[in-house]
Amino acid sequence: MTQHRDEIRFLLNGAEVALRDVQAQDTLLDHLRIAKRLTGTKEGCAEGDCGACTVLVGRLAEGGLVYETVNACIRFMASLDGCHVVTIEHLRGADGGLHLVQQAMVDQHGSQCGFCTPGIVMSLYALWMQSAAPSDEEIGVALQGNLCRCTGYEPIFKAARAAAELGKPEADPLFVERAEVTAALSKMQDSKRVEVGGAILPADVADFAQAMQDYPDATIIAGATDVGLWVTKMMKPIAPAIFTGHLNGLRNVALSDRSLKIGAGASYSEAEAQLVRAFPHLADYWSRIAGWQVRNMGTVGGNIANGSPIGDTPPVLIALGAVLHLRSAKGQRSLPLEDYFIDYGKQDLQAGEFVEAVEIPMPEAGVINAAYKVSKRRDEDITAVAAGISVRVVDGIITQACAAFGGMAATPKRAKLAEAALVGKGFGQASFEAAAEAVARDFSPLSDWRASAEYRSMVAANMFRRFWAEQGAAQEAAQ
Ligand X SMILES: Cc1cc2nc3c(=O)[nH]c(=O)nc-3n(C[C@H](O)[C@H](O)[C@H](O)COP(=O)(O)OP(=O)(O)OC[C@H]3O[C@@H](n4cnc5c(N)ncnc54)[C@H](O)[C@@H]3O)c2cc1C
Nearer to ligand X by Cβ, of 203 and 438: the residue is: 203
Least distance to ligand FES, CB of residue 369, Å: 33
Q: At 359, which helix (H) or strand (E)?
A: strand 354-361
Instruction: Please report, as ranges, the residues that interact with ligand X according to CB under 6 A.
Output: 47-49, 219-227, 244, 264, 289-290, 294, 297-299, 301-303, 305-306, 311-312, 354-355, 380, 382
Q: Give the amino acid at 378.
A: R
Q: Distance between CA atoms of 125 and 160, rounded to whole angstroms?
A: 9
The one of ligand X, ligand FES, none whose footprint includes residue 39, by CB under 5 to 8 A per kind, is: none
DSSP string over 458-479: HHHHHHHHHHHHHHHHHHHHH-
CB 382, min distance to ligand X, A: 6
Q: Give burial (CB, 10 Å; 0-12/13-18/19+) of 395.
A: exposed
Q: Single out the residue of 7, 17, 35, 45 in contact with ligand FES (rule: CB under 6 A).
A: 45
Specify whether the CB–CB gap between 312 and 386 falls below 8 A: yes
By CB under 6 A, tell whether 294 contacts ligand FES.
no
Site string for ligand FES, 117-136 (x = CB under 6 A): x-------------------
Question: Measured from the CB of residue 299, what is the shortest distance to ligand FES in angstroms?
Answer: 18
Q: Does 283 bind ligand FES (CB under 6 A)?
A: no
Residues 6+ apart with CB under 8 A from 388: 315, 316, 317, 318, 319, 320, 369, 370, 371, 402, 403, 404
User: How far apart are CB 358 and ligand X at their closest, in Å?
Assistant: 10
Coil, helix or strand for 272? helix
Q: Least distance (Å) from ligand X to the CB of residue 146?
A: 11
Contacting ligand FES (CB under 6 A), which of 43, 172, 226, 356? 43
Q: Are strands 8-12 and 54-61 parallel, antiparallel or unpaired?
A: unpaired
Q: Nearest approach, Cβ of 311 to ligand X (angstroms)?
A: 4
Over the range 63-90, which residues count as b (16 or more CB within 10 Å of their CB) and which as e? Answer: eebebbbbbbbbbbbbbbbbbbbbbbbb
Binding flag, residue 322, ligand FES (CB under 6 A): no
Minimal distance in Å, beta carbon 143 to ligand X? 14
Q: Does 50 bind ligand FES (CB under 6 A)?
A: yes
With respect to ligand X, which residue has the nearer C-beta, 126 or 212? 212
CA-derived radius of gyration, the chain: 23
Residues 6+ apart with CB under 8 A from 277: 255
Instruction: Specify the stretch interacting with ligand FES by CB under 6 A; choose among 112-120, 177-185, 219-227, 414-422.
Output: 112-120
For residue 194, which phi and psi values (nearest 5 degrees)? Answer: -110, 130
The smaller minimum CB distance to ligand FES, of residues 160 and 371, is found at 160
The option from ligand X, ligand FES, none interacting with 200 (CB < 5 to 8 A, set by class) reads: none
Residue 312 binds which one of ligand FES, ligand X, none, with CB within 5 to 8 A depending on kind? ligand X
Check residue 25 for interaction with ligand FES (CB under 6 A). no
Q: Rank residues 220 and 368 by Cβ distance to ligand X and give the closer one.
A: 220
Q: Which lies closer to ligand FES via its Cβ, residue 49 or residue 272?
A: 49
**Cα 243 from Cα 195, distance rounded (Å):** 10
Asked if 112 is part of the footprint of ligand FES (rule: CB under 6 A), the reply reads: yes
Can residue 369 be called a binding residue for ligand FES (CB under 6 A)?
no
Furthest C-alpha separation in the chain? 73
> Applying CB under 6 A, which of residues 53, 250, 360, 393 lies at the interface with ligand FES?
53
> Minimum Å distance from CB 234 to ligand FES?
16
Out of 11, 28, 46, 324, name the contact with ligand FES by CB under 6 A: 46
What letter does residue 203 receive in the DSSP assignment? S
| Cis-peptide into 240, omega within 30 deg | yes
Q: How many residues sit close enough to ligand FES to count as binding (CB under 6 A)?
A: 23
44 binds ligand FES (CB under 6 A): yes
Does 115 sit near ligand FES (CB under 6 A)?
yes
Q: Closer to ligand FES by CB, 112 or 274: give it.
A: 112
Q: Is residue 79 within 8 Å of residue 224, measured between CB atoms?
A: yes
Partner that binds at residue 422, options ligand X, ligand FES, none, CB closer than 5 to 8 Å by kind: none
Report which secondary-structure segment, H or E, holds 85.
strand 84-86
Q: Which amino acid is at 234?
A: M
76 DSSP 8-state letter: B
**What are the strands, taking DSSP E only, across 97-251?**
193-196, 199-201, 219-221, 241-243
In a 3-state reduction of DSSP, which class is residue 372?
A: strand
Q: Which is nearer to ligand FES, 101 or 323 (CB)?
A: 101
Contacting residues toward ligand FES, per CB under 6 A: 43-46, 48-53, 71, 73, 111-117, 148-151
